[in-house]
Structure 1
């Protein structure tokens, strides 16, 4: 049973009591990410996330790490395009202590100048590491192609140039204006009862934040082609189509479409590209749904001399799907896959905390497992075929990283 409580200052608390486990997961979800940045401060959401671990007024960086290690707990954080999350997973008898340390990091981080300079170097190494994984950065390149100068096209890590401009003051100002109570959700899942809500409120229920502009620029899909020449062993290809935003009435049909196309080992792309033709080791598709936009991405990596064959095979697979739609067997198999992965994913307190936190932050509503299963079961051949027509148009974007930077012949 999920309990929701809204503090006087607007912070929302979501608690799911699971008495059959001995762990508790606590997540602080903040509705700000790289899409809330500007060209000048790109990367600040991610850098701020790093600096939360570098010391507070009462604990240095080592003591924060030891606070969780000493109780056998885990602590971590991540930044996405639309939100940032700080979370911990601990044994139930350490839940109050873990909450107090997370609150200390949230409210009392010092952003010490010496630590700041060290962490800039750490993030710089993270950017370099990312640059060394072309199968990762090609997805960022696709976002740039699709969204151009819109913030959804910015890299989450930022750039070396923007990174060097961050100071303690810029971090404090960004936090004051973006970590506002109305954008914060505290999600708790595990073996704690409702009294824990009061503990969370004690820490988070009275702070105030600044005012930030509520107006966010509407993203537009651009059918752009971008390529980069890089000394790699493979050509890394991404093809993007405009997808569906969160909460769209066809979202479950869209999820099932993606699963049939490239979301599993029995998918059409995997079977056609890898099993039948042996063109790639890695080929898949995935969908990204934002509040007001979405994208379906197809990725494949192959030798540069096989790039044309890979591209043509993907396009042929899509053309076949558009022409004949999906089969009843594919629909049924995909439904069972989705229901199975949904159930299995909710067997940990961490995943339940994440699901509840994201649902509250982005959708402000929670659906039971039965309701979700019902929505999956309601998906029909007609609804999936309707989404195929809606998504796979002539408007698509392409990103490529390869040794020669040459796009597939039919695109050039």
Structure 2
């Protein structure tokens, strides 16, 4: 979560800079978050992700090896990731190297050249990454489930693309994507660490390109309206030895007023905690599975709540039955006051722990300011959790978690 201690400044060129000073650390975390992800790929699935890779393959100032070495030689890290709606390019180093960090971030974001030879090599790397995910059923089934749930919408396709779509990406595709989306008004620069805002602004003034140096902007498409599709149930034969199932349905979009209620419900129902309802009811009670969980993904237009389980084939249907049994309890049985209090304390504690991750805090600030112009404090988040009532839990469960509203996808072995 962010904090009310952050400073937000909009530069004359339109770039928003969000900064939070954290004393007692020798590190600084900084990065650009751009409002462009796989949802913006258009006719080139995997384009945003391919671009993320290619940002490290040479600039007008540096060859690939110099990009890769720039922070590494002082013990720092440079990295990036792509989601369906955002791309973040970030780094971490000692505070005394803030200028070095800002230099390389500005260089790769604004001055990458996307050499043809490097592009052809990197396509092979991405295809290998795609194949790695295809060999990972937990990832594969979730991606395929989203493709079915969001079919016909830009959210549907896999962030990585396919081997075929990646092979068709050209240098001109990359440059056009940058010209369209990598613009000052479409990004935020976030910094968290023991550095002053004055040092941050001085570094940006030194390394940012002038506004007129950026290419003529293209047109950024608005969010697409999402139309819900009928539910589905499918069983797919696979080469995996285990069986897997994912079931779920549409949920709240990222700025929905009831989002915090669902986040709390998801956390105690099947979140990353050993005492979640699903873990206790299926793994601990019966030993049917090593991994059973629920999750909530929120996007600008819609959201997705899902439950996942992997087990021996003979246990998969029984495990799914038990998941629906727990969902029914959530819809029909009132949560006790003590149970709700414990769930709130647990989730609040998790958020406080995550807030100590300064790199994560930097990303949160950048993404929040980009999306809604501000970042909520950790106190605001905890207050939102504390306000959730017993009736709120029932309302969310009955609105979103009825069995008839869930689609199902199974992976089962061939034999």
Name the TM-score, length of structure 1 as normaliser. Answer: 0.94
1:288-303 correspondence to structure 2 within 5 Å: 288-303=297-312
Partner of 2:164: 161
Partner of 1:177: 180
TM superposition shift of 1:339: 1.3
The alpha-carbon distance between structure 1 residues 201 and 337, as it changes in their structure 2 partners (threshold 3 A), is: farther
TM superposition shift of 1:285: 0.6
Q: Would you say the 8 A contact 1:256–1:331 is kept in 2?
A: no
Partner of 1:47: 50
How many residue pairs are counted as aligned between the two chains? 404
Residues in 2 aligned to 1:180 and 1:64: alpha-carbon distance in whole angstroms: 21
1:233 pairs with one of 225, 229, 241: 241
1:6-405 correspondence to structure 2 within 5 Å: 6-38=10-42, 40-195=43-198, 196-204=200-208, 206-207=210-211, 208=214, 210-222=217-229, 223-263=231-271, 264-393=273-402, 394-404=404-414
TM superposition shift of 1:383: 1.3
CA deviation vs aligned residue, 1:63-115 (integer Å, no higher than 9, x gap): 11211111110111000000000000000000111110111111221111111
Residues in 2 aligned to 1:348 and 1:252: alpha-carbon distance in whole angstroms: 21
The alpha-carbon distance between structure 1 residues 5 and 295, as it changes in their structure 2 partners (threshold 3 A), is: same
Q: Residue 289 of structure 2 aligns to a residue in which SS?
A: coil
Moved more, 392-401 or 172-181: 392-401
The alpha-carbon distance between structure 1 residues 227 and 361, as it changes in their structure 2 partners (threshold 3 A), is: farther
TM superposition shift of 1:201: 4.5
Residues in 2 aligned to 1:327 and 1:203: alpha-carbon distance in whole angstroms: 56
TM superposition shift of 1:397: 1.6
Q: Would you say the 8 A contact 1:13–1:200 is kept in 2?
A: no
Moved more, 137-146 or 327-336: 327-336
TM superposition shift of 1:391: 0.8
Unaligned runs of 5+ residues in structure 1 are 406-412
Q: Would you say the 8 A contact 1:235–1:301 is kept in 2?
A: yes
Residues in 1 aligned to 2:309 and 2:139: alpha-carbon distance in whole angstroms: 12
Q: Would you say the 8 A contact 2:71–2:100 is kept in 1?
A: no
Residues in 2 aligned to 1:211 and 1:326: alpha-carbon distance in whole angstroms: 52
Residues in 2 aligned to 1:205 and 1:82: alpha-carbon distance in whole angstroms: 25
Residues in 1 aligned to 2:126 and 2:37: alpha-carbon distance in whole angstroms: 16
Q: Would you say the 8 A contact 1:5–1:197 is kept in 2?
A: no
The alpha-carbon distance between structure 1 residues 326 and 127, as it changes in their structure 2 partners (threshold 3 A), is: same
CA deviation vs aligned residue, 1:139-177 (integer Å, no higher than 9, x gap): 001101211121111100001111111111110011101
CA RMSD of aligned residues (A): 1.6
Residues in 2 aligned to 1:219 and 1:278: alpha-carbon distance in whole angstroms: 39
CA deviation vs aligned residue, 1:253-310 (integer Å, no higher than 9, x gap): 1111101210121111111111111111100011111122111110100111222111
CA deviation vs aligned residue, 1:36-61 (integer Å, no higher than 9, x gap): 122x3010000000001111122222
Name the TM-score, length of structure 2 as normaliser. Answer: 0.94
